[in-house]
Amino acid sequence: MPEPSLPAPVAALFPSAAERERLDGWLSGALLGALGRVRAGPVTPTLDMARFAEELAAMDFDAPRPLERLLEWTLERMEHGIVQMTNPRYFGLFNPGANFPSQCADRIASAFNPQLASSASSPVPVALESHLIRVVGRRAGFGAEATGHFATGGSEANYTALVCALTAAHPRFAQEGARAFPGPPAFYTSRECHIAWLKVAHQAGIGRGALRLIATDGTGRMDPQALAEAICADRAAGAVPIMLVATAGTTGAGMIDPLEACAEIARREALWYHVDAAWGGAAIASERLRGLLAGIERADSVTIDAHKWLATTMGCAMYVTVRGSILSQAFHASTSFMPSSFAGIDPYLNSVQWSRRFLGLRLFLSLGAAGWGGLGAHLERSVAVIAHVRERLTALGWTAANDSQLAVLDVLPPRPCDVRALVRRVVESGRAWVAPATFEGRDVVRICATHGETSQSDIEELLAALSAAAC
Ligand SMILES: Cc1ncc(COP(=O)(O)O)c(C=O)c1O
């Protein structure tokens, strides 16, 4: 029988081994060059976006282009077309200059492209991620029963928490949704929370109106008295309180809600207790800082994003819970086509996602290479950067508005002025990147240490940019 002749593989998609090696080498060198220039250049994008829109409009994808040219084109535009998180003068939102081990993890995950939905497809990655979640759970103070999974971001992990809370709150929620409750479900967090909670409420089908934004105490921390009163008022009005969310490291100011007091209220009121430690949860890595999270171990679940302060590539969030059976209840499904279906083990039966990338490898290689000590030192270094910025700005007449022991500083300029305009001037200068924020009702300049290699001269440049922009 003659061999059946198959069409050749599409070479543009699956080049020869030699061509891949050549392109890989070229790309590694080109990336190093681009990132070196980014480091020394402006933090803000400089690309003419009108011209870029024309370029895009002209691309009909009818004729293929050589990959090397496309890579050059892409690198060039990335070098000039984004806010540069790899620039050590980015003092911005919680987006890190990614650590190197996690970048290696991405290469490996991309090359093997394992499917982590099921333990039969990816026995090693699933076991590795599950071990890592237990290790992180132990480090946060949970018992051996802690379980969970990696998620694309803090928002997904927080959404998971709400679905678990609703599932635990009523045996018929799984079947009937919010209609199972005798009144409208409500949940509680502080007004300094990450406002994605509104989207989370919307997605979960209980409506944005279910979120109660509790007053803070004047220092950015949830006021337990106001919380208790809100729960009481809701019950009196026929609403059904289901979850309390404390934030450990608020987005705007790095403040930590009173975790013990919140745990006590959640216990008394029989609410699911979730700690949104998307950014601040990284503090478990540092012997010096982890005490700030005392009380987190009393939570039913926590969100910790490794892609924030632990500086892995995005997104590498974790949802950790001591109530694994609720997680399995909330996300179970049954099909004949999956290679395995073990409740409590297979990620597709215990999480929002089905197809799933090997996210946990990013944290595994970072933690493995640095150890808790190394990750802790990275955190402590950024706290030192912010302490130094604070000291210098205070000496220049600026006022600190928040009192975070983490790596976020909110400041007011020496003379009253439009803070948002001030921030715009800093950003437009390209010398440094800071954010505007509202803290306890006041507009502030938010400065956050997110880059692991920010140097003294980077701090000097930030200070100069702030001084030049102040009125
Ligand atoms: C406290 C907190 N929770 C949740 C989130 C959302 O996380 P993600 O952007 O990973 O979805 C953030 C993001 O900054 C955050 O600071």
Cα(13) to centroid of ligand 1, in Å?
35
The predicted structure's pLDDT at residue 341: 84
Model confidence band, residue 2 (pLDDT cutoffs 50, 70, 90): low
Best probe residue, ligand 1, of 85, 155, 195, 309 (max atoms within 8 Å of C-beta):
155
- Is pLDDT above 90 for 148? yes
Q: pLDDT digit string (tens) for 221-236?
A: 999 999 999 999 999 9
Q: How far is CA 353 from the centre of its chain?
A: 17
The predicted structure's pLDDT at residue 1: 63
Q: Is the pTM of this model over 0.75?
A: yes
Q: Of all protein residues, whose CA lies closest to atom 6 belonging to ligand 1?
A: 154
Mean pLDDT value across residues 190-208: 97
Instruction: Specify whether the CB–CB gap between 46 and 430 falls below 8 A.
Output: yes
Q: Of all protein residues, whose CA lies closest to atom 5 belonging to ligand 1?
A: 154
Q: How far is CA 401 from the centre of its chain?
A: 24
- Secondary structure of 396-427 as H, E, C letters: CCCEECCCCCCCEEEEECCCCCCHHHHHHHHH
Going from the C-alpha of 61 to that of each of 57, 69, 71, 307, 452, the distances in angstroms are: 11, 14, 15, 34, 40
The predicted structure's pLDDT at residue 375: 98
Q: Which two tokens stand for residue 421?
A: 């305009």
Best probe residue, ligand 1, of 160, 211, 308, 316 (max atoms within 8 Å of C-beta):
308
Cα(12) to centroid of ligand 1, in Å?
38
Mean pLDDT value across residues 250-270: 98
Best probe residue, ligand 1, of 85, 93, 94, 352 (max atoms within 8 Å of C-beta):
94
- Is pLDDT above 70 for 164? yes
Q: What residue type is 285 in one-letter code?
A: A
Mean pLDDT value across residues 105-121: 97
Mean pLDDT value across residues 175-199: 97
The DSSP code for 240 is E
Name every protein residue with a CB atom under 6 angstroms from any ligand 1 atom: 94, 153-155, 158, 194, 196, 247, 251, 276, 278-279, 305, 315, 317
- Is pLDDT above 90 for 343? no
Model confidence band, residue 338 (pLDDT cutoffs 50, 70, 90): confident
Q: pLDDT digit string (tens) for 424-461?
A: 999 999 999 999 999 999 999 999 999 999 999 999 99
Q: Measured between alpha carbons, how far is 83 from 101 in angstroms, rounded to an integer?
A: 22
The predicted structure's pLDDT at residue 334: 85
The DSSP code for 251 is T
Mean pLDDT of the chain, nearest integer: 97
Residue 317's DSSP bridge partners are 151, 305
342 or 193: whose pLDDT is higher?
193
Mean pLDDT value across residues 348-370: 97
Cα(323) to centroid of ligand 1, in Å?
22
Cα(307) to centroid of ligand 1, in Å?
10
Q: pLDDT digit string (tens) for 397-408?
A: 999 999 999 999
